[in-house]
Structure 1
Amino acid sequence: MTVEQTGAKRALVVRGGWDGHQPVETTEEFIPFLEQSGFEVRVEESPAVYADDEYMATVDLIVQTNTMSTIENEQFQGLRRAIENGAGYAGWHGGIADSYRNNSDYLQMMGGQFAAHPGKHPDERTGEQSDNYLPHRYEITELGRSHPITEGIDDFELTTEQYWVLHDDYLDVLATTTQEVRPWDAWNRPITSPAIWTRQWGKGRIFVSTPGHRVEIVRDSNVRTIIERGLLWAAR
């Protein structure tokens, strides 16, 4: 039977980029959830599929984890058209907030771009990813306490990368995180960044969770709940 005959929705998973973010392993955590939620799931290992306008017009949800990668102009135009026409766009961590640094139109559409994840004292660093794993807190905003993605979730703590995000005020921020000042830092006051946000772009909904560095983080009960709800919220 076709998708039209079964009434299933279509989810497109696009993954790739830097392997340190475990794009395959983290997306595999959510594919069964999408299927159980009534989606037919297609997986692609590059953004080339975005240029297929005929297919993209049928997609209800795009889940992307593609960090520090590149996107061709026709691919980005196809992605943006799909979102503006109502497809949801969702993801976590650098797979969505640090995907295509050289495309200013993508940065505008997202409204938030990874800038840094300040790490441990220089004397404590070993050159491993764990140099940037620090305990920190995520605080649910007033909007977040009544939003279907984060309603009922209390402030929580993680030991992982804490994203410093460059952002605009068109975001609907559901949770924030504050980077404190340490003696070795160059900044001289705390910096609060959006950590979980949504954004309306055309007819499409965008959802971003900056927590999601690796499998062990997306398996955290709070993070998993937020991402699962975010995927469903964003879908057409």
Structure 2
Amino acid sequence: MTALHPPGARERHALVVRGGWDGHQPVETTDAFIPFLEDHGFDVRVEESTAVYADERVMGGIDLIVQVNTMSTIEDEEFAGLQRAVLNGTGMGGWHGGIADSYRNNADYLHMIGGQFAHHASKPPEERTGGQSDNYIPYTVHITELGTTHPITAGVDDFELVTEQYWVLSDEYNDVLATTTQEARPFDAWNRPVTAPAIWIRQWGKGRIFVSAPGHRLEVVQNPSVRTIIERGLLWAAR
């Protein structure tokens, strides 16, 4: 494939860390973006464990971390290495539970990422069958005013998805590029609509954080709008 990065540009290094719950297809979804990164001048290293984060020699040379690792834990020395890399300028990006529901045992990780998965609404009780699709509902991703001008989302219109709609707990330090609103239905516990970030970015030390809440499975990241946003987001985050 023809490289898309400028001639003579320094080769950059991307680290893909993937694993956790297989239902999020961490291998398939990250594999979908590796050729894109290679075309944009990245040498890509893939790890199936967070142990690499504790290797200071490796982490010191990484320009971009792509993490899709859901419902896992992280050791203290591993998080320390990850945090040190980001503070020193390594970018970090990911999607869905692979970045926003990764290490519930580490509050400092949640602080760095800026959003934590809390819930995804289900279909009406009478329509549920017990599978993943019970949580696939139609919803709109709304581009914010900031999102209309930011290079990650500029030119992307509001778009519709039928997949898990993440209710994310977050803070005001995020720059939110897109939102989604969970309606209140008669059988829900909440009694008014709730809007949460769907796409956000965050500066952490010298590093940039990019998060896409949409990204449950391969078919979601292959949605043209989602894929465009993720591709742009990873390039924006990289050192």
Partner Cα distance (1:209, 1:157) in 2: 15
Q: Percent identity?
A: 73
Question: For residues 58-95 of structure 1, what are the alpha-carbon distances to aligned partners after superposition, in whole Å with 9 as ceiling and x for unaligned?
Answer: 00000000000010000000000000000000000000
Shift of 1:102: 1.2
Shift of 1:123: 1.8
2:224 corresponds to: 221
1:79 corresponds to: 82
2:57 is the counterpart of 1:54? yes
2:19 corresponds to: 16
Partner Cα distance (2:135, 2:113) in 1: 24
Partner Cα distance (2:119, 2:9) in 1: 44
Q: 2:195 aligns with which of 176, 192, 200?
A: 192
1:140 corresponds to: 143
1:172 corresponds to: 175
SS of 2:211's partner is: strand
Q: 1:38 aligns with which of 30, 41, 44?
A: 41
Partner Cα distance (2:182, 2:135) in 1: 13
Partner Cα distance (1:127, 1:74) in 2: 38
1:106 corresponds to: 109
1:149 corresponds to: 152
Partner Cα distance (1:64, 1:55) in 2: 16
Shift of 1:121: 1.1
Shift of 1:216: 0.3
SS of 2:148's partner is: helix
Shift of 1:7: 2.4
Q: What is the aligned length?
A: 232
When normalised by structure 2's length, the TM-score is 0.96
Shift of 1:55: 1.1
Structure 1, gaps ≥5 residues long: none
Structure 2, gaps ≥5 residues long: 1-7
When normalised by structure 1's length, the TM-score is 0.97
